Structure 1
Amino acid sequence: MIQSSSAAAPADLAHYDRASIVFHWLTAVLVVGLFVLAEVWSFLPRGTSTRRLLQSLHISFGLTFAAVFVLRAAWRLTAGRRLPPAAAGWLRVASTGMHGLLYALMAAQIVLGFLFRWAQGEPFAFFGLFDVPTLIPIDREQRHFIGGLHNTVAWTIIVLALLHALAGLFHHYFLRDGVLRRMLSGR
């Protein structure tokens, strides 16, 4: 049985707080943007200035994503608004599982990104402002394995994020339960 969020909470509490909403959409934009950058440069010849620029942007935005992810997780665990579940039964289990899996994969992707860059043995700069030091020396022979895993996790995140978005649209247009509106406005 599906339970409406508006029935489960007063109307003024039916939305996530503004910070949670900003973190959610910033995460979505960064994940998609990082994926697109990597896919675009894969079509460019190695060593070209455009490919190097896209890789540099990917690294810098990846570091931004890592910071946003840590802040988002800390906010969610400490101060973020808790809303009652929008659904019951298998929809609740699927929703909880999807969120947990996305968080785990994003955390893994951040770790893999750092490991991959360190395994490449190349500078790891944030928009040219500062370099990230190598904290864990990684054998260069491991870079293909780590890079392949980084790519697989990226595709998995994109597919799950698409399913997550489709679920939000399903809730909005078919179930009409207000789930999507909870993440669209803090007011």
Structure 2
Amino acid sequence: MGSSGTRYGSITQFFHWCTAILVLVAFVYGPGGPEQRVYSSVHEIDRRLHETLGLCVFALTVIRLLWRMIDTRPEPPSVSRWMGITAIAVQCMLFLLLLALPMTAVAGAWLEGHPLTLVAGADISPLFGTSHDTGAALAAVHKWLGDTIMWLAGFHAFAALYHHVVLKDDVLITMLPRWLPARGARSR
């Protein structure tokens, strides 16, 4: 269940792939656009799903970071210094975005005077006073961060494929479940 020196454990893999799927689905179902569009009854289901998934991403990220503190990680491959620094920077930025996206969404909605609306029909009323302009600014930041995480996650996925296909190392294999029939560089 835990990670080893050559592979991430099943818990870490679950956190990684679950986060990726939740972020992608939340992005797809994000109503986007001006406040009137986002909070229109036409987009009620999309907004509820988007906000619920966003809170799930936040909770999962916090749990994932706590797990990361006690779990071991596989040895990184021998790569050039710039590639190692880039990998660490991308991972740090992804984690920051996974925390910042839900926080900007919640703060923006509440400052605009809107409750969080969850799929189960529960609404979480604003916990602080309104400041519509600040809320609108945070909503714009949230949209920008959402686009950014998708680009960065795409780069992250491309880098994993580059490692697998071009460099022929086990970077991608370390995060794939054991039941997938992928062959790593060390097993060739």
TM-score range, shorter chain: 0.7 to 0.9
2:86 corresponds to which letter in structure 1?
A: A
Superposition deviation, residue 133 in structure 1: 4.5
- Unaligned ranges ≥5, structure 1: 1-11
Distance 1:41 1:155, change over 3 A: closer
Which residue of the other structure, out of 72, 76, 84, is the alignment partner of 1:85? 76
CA deviation string 1:125-180 (max 9, x = no partner): 33235433533434122122111100111111110000000000000111110110
Q: Please give the alpha-carbon distance, in whole angstroms, between the structure 1 residues aligned to 2:104 and 2:162.
A: 32
TM-score (norm 1): 0.83
Q: Please give the alpha-carbon distance, in whole angstroms, between the structure 1 residues aligned to 2:57 and 2:137.
A: 22
- Unaligned ranges ≥5, structure 2: 180-188
Q: Which residue of 2 aligns with 1:140?
A: 132
Superposition deviation, residue 113 in structure 1: 1.4
CA RMSD, 1 decimal: 2.2
Which residue of the other structure, out of 41, 52, 66, is the alignment partner of 1:60? 52
| 8 A contact 1:16–1:186 mirrored in 2 | no
Distance 1:143 1:48, change over 3 A: closer
Tell whether 2:159 aligns with 1:167.
yes
SS at match of 1:179: coil
Q: Please give the alpha-carbon distance, in whole angstroms, between the structure 2 residues aligned to 1:125 and 1:186.
A: 38
| 8 A contact 1:14–1:83 mirrored in 2 | yes
Identity in percent: 28
| 8 A contact 2:111–2:131 mirrored in 1 | yes
Deviates more, 1:175-184 or 1:113-122: 113-122
Aligned residues: 173
Structure with more contact order per residue of length (Cα contacts < 8 Å, sep ≥ 6): 1
Runs (4+) of structure 1 exceeding 2 A deviation are 40-43, 45-50, 125-138
Q: Please give the alpha-carbon distance, in whole angstroms, between the structure 1 residues aligned to 2:78 and 2:90.
A: 14
